[in-house]
Chain A
Amino acid sequence: MAVPPSQYKDREFIAVIGDEDSVTGLLLAGIGHVTQPPDSQKNFLVVDAKTDTAAIEEAFERFTERKDIAIVLINQHIAERIRFRVDNYTAAFPSLLEIPSKDHPYDPEKDSVLRRVRRLFGE
């Protein structure tokens, strides 16, 4: 039923999977975090046309499994590439947010949460 506090009390970072501009902007805002060495893990992934889908999936998996991440931001056009995984992701933590990017305006039709909203209200 309700989510136990242990599920979210340590979560304090925001992770991002996005194109270079989105990631740069969000890092400038100060969300970037690299964990202590030796396994220094970044909480952001820059995706361009050359990045293959498997790498995106792997990063998505890693971010959603980490226990210190509260929110995962993902560019909508990248979410589109791993749409299956994004649609199947229903956990409350970390919460997954699709954000628009500079070259790809936001399309509410594709958003997994908004689609769920519409389905619930029978549209």
Chain B
Amino acid sequence: MSGSGAREAVFPTRQSLGLMKSKLKGAQTGHDLLKRKSEALTKRFREITRRIDEAKRKMGRVMQVAAFSLAEVTYAVGGDIGYQVQESAKSARFRVRTTQENVSGVFLPAFESYQTEGNNDFSLTGLGKGGQQVQRCRETYARAVEALVELASLQTAFVTLDEVIKVVNRRVNAIEHVIIPRTENTIKYINSELDELDREEFYRLKKVSGKKERDAHAAELERAEDKDAAMRKEKASEAERHDMLGEEGNEDVIF
């Protein structure tokens, strides 16, 4: 039934009916577009989660290899190099930069690793012995960190996309379940009110024309009556005239 359910506070006029209709159309178009966006993002999201899963497994393997190469270093150097390494770390050689990727209007940040040239904090590490192992360990760990950076950028994309998908879905649902029904309700309400006005108008016109007809009829009758009366009067006067003229009843006077 119209009038039930939420509707917007508008006056039921033809103008607002037109407004509501264009609004409904806009809402439907927007809903379709947002739905498509959400689908595209979800597709991307699923792909990313799959790649995260793979990357995490890969990370496990790479870190294992790296840990093994560090054990080799410890063996070759013949002592723990941890303290020395921690103390000599000064400036990062291995850094990341952030780039963006555009997926259906959403900017997904992605990390990219790069190595700065020239500064080597660990040129003295393994100088006595085990330098080769240290070198190899550094390479292994650099590869591991690259894998980690890749994983981190996937994960950042995951977090960002998750957020965006939530927002888009909320919008889609709001349009589908709130805005469209409310606009439809408003249109129904305006239509019913306009119909009601039309019926009222029709009834009024009928009333008016009935009254006019009645009046005309009455006037007709009156006129007829007048005519009748006039005729009768004429007749009567004629009769009188007759009477006045010929006194038929009277006996002829004979001279």
Task: Give me the interface of A with B, judged by CB distance under 8 Å.
Answer: 1-3, 5, 8-9, 11-14, 20-34, 42-44, 46, 70-71, 73, 90-93, 95-97, 99-102, 105-106, 108, 111, 113-114, 116-117, 120-121
Mark out the residues of chain B between 158 and 180 whose CB falls within 8 Å of any chain A CB in the assembled complex. 158-160, 162-164, 167
A114 to B59, CA, bound (A): 14
- Tell me whether B149 and A27 are in contact (CB under 8 A): no
In the complex, the answer to whether B92 meets A100 with C-beta atoms within 8 Å is: no
List, in ascending order, chain B residues with CB within 8 A of A43's CB: 92
Known A21-B67, A95-B155, A117-B53: A32·B89 in contact at CB below 8 Å:
yes
Other CB < 8 Å A-B pairs besides A25-B141, A92-B160, 9 of them? A12-B95, A14-B148, A22-B67, A25-B144, A28-B85, A71-B149, A71-B152, A95-B153, A97-B152
- Structural contact, A114 and B56, CB atoms closer than 8 A: yes
Q: In whole angstroms, how far apart are the Cα atoms of A2 and B103 in the complex? A: 11
Chain B interface (Cβ < 8 Å from any Cβ of A): 49, 52-53, 56-57, 59-60, 63-64, 66-67, 69-71, 80-82, 85-86, 89-98, 100, 106-107, 109, 111, 115, 121-122, 125, 134, 137-138, 141-142, 144-145, 148-149, 151-153, 155-156, 158-160, 162-164, 167
CA of A96 to CA of B71 in the docked complex: distance in angstroms? Answer: 26
Interfacial chain A residues near B137, Cβ < 8 Å: 25, 28
A117 neighbours in B (Cβ, 8 Å): 49, 52-53, 158
- Total number of residue pairs linking A and B with CB closer than 8 Å: 165
CB of A28 within 8 A of CB of B138, answer yes
**For A1, A105, A111, which residue has the most chain B Cβ atoms within 10 angstroms?**
A1
Given contacts A44-B89, A100-B59, contact A30 B144 (CB under 8 A): no
Q: Are B148 and A71 in contact (CB under 8 A)?
A: yes
